[in-house]
Structure 1
Amino acid sequence: MDPAAWTFVILGLAIVAFVSGRVPMAVVAIGVALALWATGVLTLTEAFAGFGDPTVLFIASLFVVSEALDATGVTAWVGLQVVSRAGRGRARLTVVVGVMVALLSAFISINGAVAALLPVVVVVAVRAGIIPAKLLIPLAFAASAGSMLTLIGTPVNIVVSDAAVAAGGRAFGYFEFALVGIPLVALTVLVLALWGDRLLPDRVPDRFADVAPDPREHAQNLRSSYAVDLDTNTLFSVSEGVAEVLVAPRSQLIGRTIYPGMTTRDENLVILAARRGEDEGPNASRGNATPGELTLQAGDAVLVQGPWEALTRYTASPDVIAVTAPQSLQRAVPLGRGAKRAIVILVLMVLLLATGLVPPVVAGLLAAGALILTRVLTLPQTYRSISWTTVILIAGMVPLSAAFISTGAAGIVADAVLSVIGTASPHLALLVLGVITMVLGQFISNVATVLVVAPIAVAISRALEVSIMPFMMSLTVVGAAAFLTPIATPVNLMVMQPGGYRFGDYWRLGLPLMAVYLAIGVLYVPLIWHF
């Protein structure tokens, strides 16, 4: 079998594996790289070149920057400031939420933007008397539109920009995406505001997702739950917080006597209150607060206060079970420790990217390194912040994209497309490529889809003897239109449970939005980036 045929076979098997969902995406990507080497399509160095690709390293660094903004409460502060002023009308809330998440996703990952605003939107919806389902799909869809505002909005933008350079074009500027991103965001928010109420379900979810609680509300709940006089305005701050823990079965704390005001032995945390648990274990039903001394038993609840780092270490002990993780509460504190440093580093990174003084990967790695050196993030936090699935997925699929070019597989597909549509209209070529990209993007990662379709777009543009730039930008636009299924993007899946959505709820609002994206990709993009 010739190399081109092997490339098609490997692509087909990868798509089947992606769609089935039975094999982790990272495993599929590594399998693709191994298969390309085993079949002789690529050399060993070529098959694993993606793991050293600057695009992959840049994307990994962006996850670190996103984590810094989230962990320091920058996203929580921005979300609270804007959403709290949105009022109670569904349409107005949709507009404010849509614009907010779009702006946020332009500078941090789409997943990070949605994760940061998800708890805020749920709380605001409940307070406004609106079913969360009316706002959560709009939150996810608007985030996808916002990713088109800057180069770093989504890995797809970076992949396409690099593909344009490799094909003999130029790299897209940092804010150049905004030329198409601003109309996309405006039209997306308009569609969501006008049709969202009619096309989204009225279903109330059985239960909401586990989201970070509002610090003020959480403090009031603790005060009421323990029936003690606590200043709710001082329980949570930039430097300190409160954690509620249960005494674990077989804990070394069992039999130890505690009382309010004493400090813990190891972490020097202050015990604010305690109450007796009626049963043992993490699901114990708890009784009334005990104002005096209490000899601890399994299942007893204890309220402790102290620095966030000490709380994190204390709750990691096997002797206690945290009711709410301190890290979750700390993220919900607006403009927490390190927020100013994180903002300054973000601004400097954006300036480096916008001016082109250094390659994007250098700007990203400098920002990630600065966040660690200034102690905004710890090294373990940095490792955890990176979506290794995404990194491995891109690294494994980059060689497949290269194989499509080197084996002539992209040319075969391009010739097949051109034999059907002819060479008269590049707009028709954009339409066909757009439909192919959209269909694939509903079932496999949009990054993987773009990596597959990009070399085909390059081959078609060369056959038509037109510029590669409108093809690459159009591919970016339609690649962002993954709206028909909950598995199309991680953010679609993130809002499924808290919104009480079913698999078939997405296409009703997603279909008209996809038509908008296709129209912009085929008709509007060539007006800015000429053939």
Structure 2
Amino acid sequence: MQQDQLLTFAILGITIGLFLWGRLRHDVVALMALLACVLLGLTPTANAFDGFAHPAVITVAAVLILSHGLQVTGAVEAMAQKLLPRQGGVLLGCSALTLLGALLSAFMNNIGAMALLMPIAMQLAQRHALPPGKILMPLAFGTILGGMTTLIGTPPNLIVAGFRAEQAGNGFGMFDFSPVGIVVALCGILFTVLAARWLVPERRKHDAASFDTGSYLTEVHIGQGSKAAGKHLGEVERWLDDSDAQIVGLVRNDFRVTAPHPGRLLQDGDILVIEADPDDLGAVLTLLGLKLEESVRPESTPAPEDSEIDDSPPATRTERAEDITLQELVVQPGSLLNGRSASDVQIRSRFGINLLAISRQGHRSIRRLRWTELHAGDVILMQGPAEAISGFASEFGCVPLAQRSILIPNRRKAITSVLIMLGAIVLAASGLLPAALAFTAGVLGFMLSGVVPLRRIYEAVDWPIIVLLAALLPLAGAMASTGAADLLAKTLLEHLAQGSPVLALALVLVVTMSLSDFMNNAATAAVMCPIALSVAAQLQVNPDSFLMAVAIGASCAFLTPIGHQNNTLILGPGGFRFADYWRLGLPLELVVVAVSVPMLLWVWPL
């Protein structure tokens, strides 16, 4: 093994290890890998940032903006209302919803499709008195499967097409992924919808009045005149029994006591940390004459230096009582709230709303609510004017669990956005323009027609994904130029595939799928494409078969909540645990392998 090959393997191994560790963001890890390649001489300095001009990266950014336009204009919502059945059994409703999610994911960002259809899924679960996870997991898996069917359905397909263009002179077309992708997606959706009844665990009971996200931790203030003041803690706990609530902590003089003694005497100014269902909070407050801590505490101290500065005036606090609402929001993957607290982002002073409670997979935090760091999948209960909550959710990337109040449909803009999107697809599919130019033209159409305000255009781009792709492409190039990919492919062929092209194809698919369960799917595709091309070259078979295997494998992350952002998105609302996904995900991946290998051999013969 040569020195440059050894260095490439070391960087690749460390990069994958950091991806799996999960403590650093994917784009940060990718930039570290890029810098290491440049410093060690594996990537020429002049070519370090060529990835940012790669057609696949440009196309991903353009598709994200077009997807955003379809969402904010209400085009997707209108489509859902027309296509989804309003009556019928749960199997029909779940099947229609999952198929719609797959269809939308073929032409727009699948995370956006999931976010839009998620409230409908919870309404369907409520209608049939089902745990929401029974509908949410099939929908999440369906939107992931739908992405593999077209060039723009998911970033891995664009990455694969880019490698094909470098290897053969022209990339895959808009619908080259469809023959195999559609069959695999339909078989996967059919299995998922039918098997979800038995394989998706029931983690939450469903209530007819609202979607149950589990117990919340809420802080309440004991003020003058409160029935709890001067009483022993044990006596107050007995009063709460009828409300199915319990006291799990006490804060006095900013000092928190976990599991306080029942004999402790409560005083004015104490803060009780109560675990209760959101629907029972009103009864608890009325019973004890308490107030929510967020509504009585003074403005928080200035935020840390790394919090955002906002020059806009604070939201008004003179709203009428009937204008104040309670709404549950889910923190999305990639949200600006990830790793930050309510105090960090100055929720009260900037938006005039309160964070009342947090639900996180049944786990309790020992920190105060306003200092607790939020993470993807958390369900947060917000109080304030509906418009202010909508603005907060839109800015920080949260999905409302109740009726969607963020989107304000605009019929004219919705029709315009659909026509522009269809035009871009036709230009790309017909070959009149390369995909990157066709969808960039679509973005320009959005700008000129005002479908998306100019100030919001660049906010629609998931910049960590863009940086991740652009930074990993030079690493993939180093694997090819140093011969590291050839060496790894030769090892796989000799020890596992034993020279069989069919076994090698299945092996590439399974390895890609396994990596995608634990690391970003675009990163997986960028790592596996050079290996797949090298395997095909050594076997002297059609490289397109192996590139398509990488595309399918990178789009099939069903075993963990971290494999795909849609899996993370349903973690809190579905009440799922880390180990719940493999019950349905593992047999689904076996179905994908069983269907895709014969289809690849038929559509893309070796």
Interval of TM-score (by shorter of Structure 1 and Structure 2): 0.7 to 0.9
Q: Report the alpha carbon displacement of residue 170 of structure 1 after superposing the two structures with TM.
A: 4.3
Q: Report the alpha carbon displacement of residue 344 of structure 1 after superposing the two structures with TM.
A: 1.1
1:181 paired to 2:189? no
The 5-angstrom pairing of residues 57-72 of structure 1 reads: 57-72=58-73
Distance 2:131 2:574 in 1: 8
Residues 72 and 409 in structure 2, CA contact (< 8 A), matched pair in contact too: no
Structure 1 pair 366/42, CA: closer, same or farther in 2 (3 Å)? Answer: same
Match of 2:553, SS state, is: helix
Q: Report the alpha carbon displacement of residue 281 of structure 1 after superposing the two structures with TM.
A: 8.2
Distance 1:381 1:514 in 2: 38
The answer to which of 388-397 and 483-492 deviates more is: 388-397
Residues 60 and 386 in structure 1, CA contact (< 8 A), matched pair in contact too: yes
Residues 497 and 507 in structure 2, CA contact (< 8 A), matched pair in contact too: no
Distance 1:424 1:408 in 2: 19
Residues 393-420 of structure 1: CA deviation (Å, up to 9, x unaligned): 1111111111110010001101111212
Q: Report the alpha carbon displacement of residue 301 of structure 1 after superposing the two structures with TM.
A: 4.0
Distance 2:135 2:564 in 1: 17
Residues 10-56 of structure 1: CA deviation (Å, up to 9, x unaligned): 11111111111111111111111111101111112222211121211
Name the residue aligned to 1:243: none
Name the residue aligned to 1:93: 93
1:110 paired to 2:148? no
Which amino acid in the other structure matches residue 91 of structure 2? A
Residues 73 and 331 in structure 1, CA contact (< 8 A), matched pair in contact too: no
Residues 319 and 385 in structure 2, CA contact (< 8 A), matched pair in contact too: no
Name the residue aligned to 1:381: 456
Structure 1 pair 317/373, CA: closer, same or farther in 2 (3 Å)? Answer: farther
Distance 1:58 1:298 in 2: 46
Residues 151 and 157 in structure 2, CA contact (< 8 A), matched pair in contact too: yes
1:418 paired to 2:493? yes
1:323 paired to 2:385? yes
Residues 60 and 387 in structure 1, CA contact (< 8 A), matched pair in contact too: yes
The 5-angstrom pairing of residues 331-346 of structure 1 reads: 331-336=406-411, 338-346=413-421
Which amino acid in the other structure matches residue 109 of structure 2? S
Name the residue aligned to 1:18: 19
Which amino acid in the other structure matches residue 406 of structure 1? S
Match of 1:19, SS state, is: helix
Distance 1:508 1:279 in 2: 43
Which amino acid in the other structure matches residue 567 of structure 2? N
Query: Would you say how many aligned residue pairs link Structure 1 and Structure 2?
Result: 443
1:35 paired to 2:110? no
Which of these residues, 368, 393, 396, is aligned with residue 471 of structure 2?
A: 396
Which amino acid in the other structure matches residue 461 of structure 1? A
The 5-angstrom pairing of residues 113-124 of structure 1 reads: 113-124=113-124
Distance 2:548 2:440 in 1: 26
Distance 2:504 2:28 in 1: 33
Distance 2:92 2:194 in 1: 10
Residues 561 and 581 in structure 2, CA contact (< 8 A), matched pair in contact too: yes
Distance 2:351 2:433 in 1: 49
Q: Report the alpha carbon displacement of residue 475 of structure 1 after superposing the two structures with TM.
A: 1.4
Name the residue aligned to 2:171: 171
Distance 1:161 1:297 in 2: 53
Which amino acid in the other structure matches residue 118 of structure 1? M
Residues 486 and 496 in structure 1, CA contact (< 8 A), matched pair in contact too: yes
Q: Report the alpha carbon displacement of residue 523 of structure 1 after superposing the two structures with TM.
A: 2.0
Residues 155-179 of structure 1: CA deviation (Å, up to 9, x unaligned): 1111111212222264222122220
Distance 2:213 2:429 in 1: 37
Which amino acid in the other structure matches residue 476 of structure 1? A
Q: Report the alpha carbon displacement of residue 470 of structure 1 after superposing the two structures with TM.
A: 0.8
Name the residue aligned to 1:476: 551
Residues 200 and 583 in structure 2, CA contact (< 8 A), matched pair in contact too: yes
The 5-angstrom pairing of residues 159-308 of structure 1 reads: 159-168=159-168, 170-204=170-204, 283=295, 300-301=320-321, 303=323
Q: Report the alpha carbon displacement of residue 519 of structure 1 after superposing the two structures with TM.
A: 2.1
Name the residue aligned to 2:430: 355
Residues 65 and 443 in structure 2, CA contact (< 8 A), matched pair in contact too: yes
Q: Report the alpha carbon displacement of residue 498 of structure 1 after superposing the two structures with TM.
A: 0.9
Residues 349 and 364 in structure 1, CA contact (< 8 A), matched pair in contact too: yes
Q: Report the alpha carbon displacement of residue 507 of structure 1 after superposing the two structures with TM.
A: 0.3
Which amino acid in the other structure matches residue 323 of structure 1? P
Residues 61-116 of structure 1: CA deviation (Å, up to 9, x unaligned): 110000000000111112222334352x2322221111110001011011011011
Distance 1:424 1:369 in 2: 50
Name the residue aligned to 2:584: 509
Distance 1:336 1:120 in 2: 20
Name the residue aligned to 1:152: 152
1:485 paired to 2:547? no
Structure 1 pair 163/103, CA: closer, same or farther in 2 (3 Å)? Answer: same
Name the residue aligned to 1:288: none
Match of 1:484, SS state, is: coil
Residues 282 and 299 in structure 1, CA contact (< 8 A), matched pair in contact too: no
Match of 2:43, SS state, is: coil
TM-score of the superposed pair, with normalisation by structure 2: 0.69
Distance 1:282 1:351 in 2: 53
Distance 2:407 2:213 in 1: 15
1:446 paired to 2:521? yes
Structure 1 pair 205/16, CA: closer, same or farther in 2 (3 Å)? Answer: farther
Q: Report the alpha carbon displacement of residue 204 of structure 1 after superposing the two structures with TM.
A: 1.0
Residues 72 and 408 in structure 2, CA contact (< 8 A), matched pair in contact too: no
Name the residue aligned to 1:434: 509
Q: Report the alpha carbon displacement of residue 380 of structure 1 after superposing the two structures with TM.
A: 2.5
Which amino acid in the other structure matches residue 57 of structure 1? I
Residues 111-131 of structure 1: CA deviation (Å, up to 9, x unaligned): 011011011111221122221
Which amino acid in the other structure matches residue 5 of structure 2? A
Q: Report the alpha carbon displacement of residue 474 of structure 1 after superposing the two structures with TM.
A: 1.5
Q: Report the alpha carbon displacement of residue 469 of structure 1 after superposing the two structures with TM.
A: 0.9
Question: RMSD of aligned C-alpha atoms?
Answer: 2.6
Residues 317 and 352 in structure 2, CA contact (< 8 A), matched pair in contact too: no
Which amino acid in the other structure matches residue 173 of structure 1? G
Distance 2:526 2:503 in 1: 21
Distance 1:61 1:316 in 2: 35
Match of 1:512, SS state, is: helix
Structure 1 pair 420/318, CA: closer, same or farther in 2 (3 Å)? Answer: closer
1:406 paired to 2:489? no
Distance 2:213 2:112 in 1: 16
Residues 169 and 469 in structure 1, CA contact (< 8 A), matched pair in contact too: no
Residues 560 and 578 in structure 2, CA contact (< 8 A), matched pair in contact too: yes
Q: Report the alpha carbon displacement of residue 437 of structure 1 after superposing the two structures with TM.
A: 1.0
Residues 208 and 497 in structure 1, CA contact (< 8 A), matched pair in contact too: no
Q: Report the alpha carbon displacement of residue 208 of structure 1 after superposing the two structures with TM.
A: 5.6
Match of 1:496, SS state, is: coil
TM-score of the superposed pair, with normalisation by structure 1: 0.78
Identity of aligned residues (%): 34
Listed as ranges, the gaps of 5+ residues in structure 1 are 211-277, 286-295, 305-314
Residues 461-485 of structure 1: CA deviation (Å, up to 9, x unaligned): 1111111111111111122111000
Which amino acid in the other structure matches residue 491 of structure 1? N
Distance 1:114 1:196 in 2: 18
Structure 1 pair 297/493, CA: closer, same or farther in 2 (3 Å)? Answer: closer
Q: Report the alpha carbon displacement of residue 518 of structure 1 after superposing the two structures with TM.
A: 1.5
1:467 paired to 2:542? yes
